[in-house]
A and B are shown apart, each in its own frame.
Chain A
Amino acid sequence: MAERTRGQYALYAVAVLTLVFLWAPLLVMIFLSFATNSSTVFPFEGFTLSNYAQTLADTGLLTAVFHSVEIATIAAAIATVLGVLGAFGLARIDFRLKEFYRTFGILPMVVPGVVLGMALLIYFRTIIGVTTGFWTVVATHSLYGLPFVLLPVTARLYSFDRSLEEAARDLGSGTLATFAEVTLPIIGPSVAAGFMFAWIRSFEDFIRVYFVKGTFDVLTTAMYSMIKYGSAPEMNAISSLLVFAIAVLLAVAMVGGDVTGYVAGSEDGE
């Protein structure tokens, strides 16, 4: 018994140290975002909000944030429409090459960013000859986001009890009404989760955008330049603001729904 407890303590210790490992650099960065001396902790010269004021006054950066939000929203919307339709096909229709389609549907998230970015750059620029810019990024991210919608919605449709739909039809509900009142509420959360993942993946992507962006900037490419040219005060502040925003959104999502289930791919089927 004593041996077992010691084993348990060791497990707890590793888990706690892992959490420290995950959090330490982020906490240091947040600390530095409020520090007058923003590049390192020593010598400590006091706290300030001027880093944040400077960051929020940087119109170039704010434009880049706006571009990121625009691209993520359009790309995730396209991915959601394509992914939900595809999920119905996978779950409800038997067809040849189904496994082939499923594999290809997962590939956009498997192919490393460097390879996908390079392949699309060569394709856009040299093969079909379009100028890279806003719309090539949207196209790239709508492809990248597809599996993040296709997977959870397909899983949901598989675990969904189709007798519910039949019951609605037997009770006199039409096809559209059945879809709106039975199917949609059941798959709704997985569609929302898929949209959210596709959105986040687009918003945080750097390497794919870096290849196909042409000359304009999104948030990640603007941040990349900041790190490269050493503007720590703004980089710390914008990064910390992102951590705060994500913390709030995640807390809301976790209170409102089963985030763990979707992320770990083990949704409870009803």
Chain B
Amino acid sequence: MAPDPQSSSGLAADVRVLLRDTRVRLGLTVGPSVIWLALLLLAPLTFVVTVSFLQVNDAYQVVWQHASLANYQALFAGDGPFWTTSFFRSLVLSYKIAATTTIVCLALAFPMAYLLATHSGRVFKIVIFLVLLPFFTMYLVRAYSWYLMFGPHGVINATLLNLGITDSPLALFGYGQGAVVVGLVHAYFPYMLLSLYASLDGVDFTLVEAARDLGAGKIGALKDVVIPLTLPGIISGALFVFVPSLGAFVTPRFLAQGKIQMIGQLIEERINTLYAIDYGSAASMFIVLTIVVLFLLAFRYVSIEDLGGI
């Protein structure tokens, strides 16, 4: 590949000869990160899968025998039928909240992404700054800022009461599922916006005009031209909103105030208060499997490079 290096003597030449070997070059470039990924990602995830089939004794040690599905049975076992167990309810609730968050993000981000893609110059720079600043602001700070807004004594209810619009705090602006969705939309909106923008940026908008000139209606042009062209952006944006929303912990912790429990909270509680790593491992498999399935579906429409945009 490389042109012949000028011949020189000693160590430099030895190194150069060595570097011509692909295996050596691979070892030096990809090698260190492969070791890191194997030790800190592959191994821990493999152990989680393993532990999900094993039991933990009273000394919190893993018992390395008698593999079984007992942990998975425990997730769905309770006094009532399986759909009344806290695990099942948390899981379904998490899917619902993550799906709602994704749809709201898509609806809010499309107009802004379109405007960003069709504008440039100062307006563009200012809007990008205004979007990126909250994006780079700590996730925890943003969840906290909504914690101030919501609640029976929160800023929204206090304002409404003071303006005389209502005479008792409205449940709509209290803590709960709605507040969690708002917090998650605020947290992950920029992912959607930036994914959509990246794909809209390459769209030739004269195509839209052409479709319109050829008699396509507004909806028709959107459906037949804009959406197919931006599908990779929509899919990667949806993934990058749905996946972290599904495993959310901080946002539901502060914005639901115990009224609901998402799957991430359930796992955290079992691990950090009981150190029930067998239960937690089995429960987390449902998140992992969901993500694997979603990514496999997504790869039918987009390449991994498109997903890696963020």
**Chain A residues in the interface with B (C-beta under 8 A):** 7, 10-12, 14-15, 18-19, 21-26, 28-29, 32, 39-42, 81-83, 85-86, 88-90, 92-93, 95, 99, 101-108, 110-116, 118-123, 126-127, 139-140, 142-143, 146-147, 150-151, 155, 166, 169-170, 174-175, 200, 203-204, 206-207, 210-211, 220, 223-224, 227, 232, 235-236, 239, 242-243, 246-247, 250-251, 254, 259-260, 263-266
Contact = CB atoms under 8 A, between A and B. Distances in A.
Given A118-B271, A120-B44, A106 B308 contact: yes
Contact of A140 (B40, B153, B271): B40
Given A11-B111, A169-B3, A264 B198 contact: yes
Interface residues of B, number: 99
Given A29-B145, A83-B33, 6 more contacts: A18-B111, A41-B159, A92-B29, A143-B40, A166-B3, A210-B268
B189 A259 contact: no
B300 interface: no
B25 interface: yes
Interface centre among B32, B44, B129, B243 (most CB of A within 10 A): B44
B247 A106 contact: no
A107 B308 CA distance: 10
A121 B51 CA distance: 13
B254 interface: yes
Contacts of A29: 141, 144-145, 148
Nearest to B157: A40
A207 B159 contact: no
Nearest to A203: B138
B48 interface: yes
B132 A204 contact: no
A104 B249 contact: no
A92 B16 CA distance: 16
Contacts of A24: 149
Contacts of A25: 142, 145-146, 148-149, 186
Give the top 5 A-B pairs by smallest Cβ distance, nearest first.
A112-B247, A265-B309, A89-B29, A89-B30, A25-B145
Contacts of A104: 37, 41-42
Given A26-B134, A32-B148, A143-B37, A95 B22 contact: yes
A263 B249 contact: no
Contacts of B186: 21-22, 25
B281 A122 contact: yes
B91 interface: no
Interface in B130-165: 130-142, 144-149, 153-155, 158-159, 161-162
A143 B247 contact: no
A243 B267 CA distance: 31
A122 B47 contact: yes
Nearest to B182: A21
B35 to A, nearest CB: 9
A117 to B, nearest CB: 8
A207 B250 contact: yes
A147 B35 CA distance: 15
B280 to A, nearest CB: 6
30 contacts: A22-B131, A25-B142, A26-B137, A29-B144, A39-B148, A89-B26, A101-B34, A105-B33, A106-B304, A115-B287, A116-B44, A121-B271, A122-B44, A122-B51, A122-B280, A123-B47, A126-B62, A143-B36, A143-B41, A151-B308, A151-B309, A200-B136, A204-B138, A204-B139, A207-B249, A227-B147, A235-B144, A236-B148, A242-B137, A250-B132
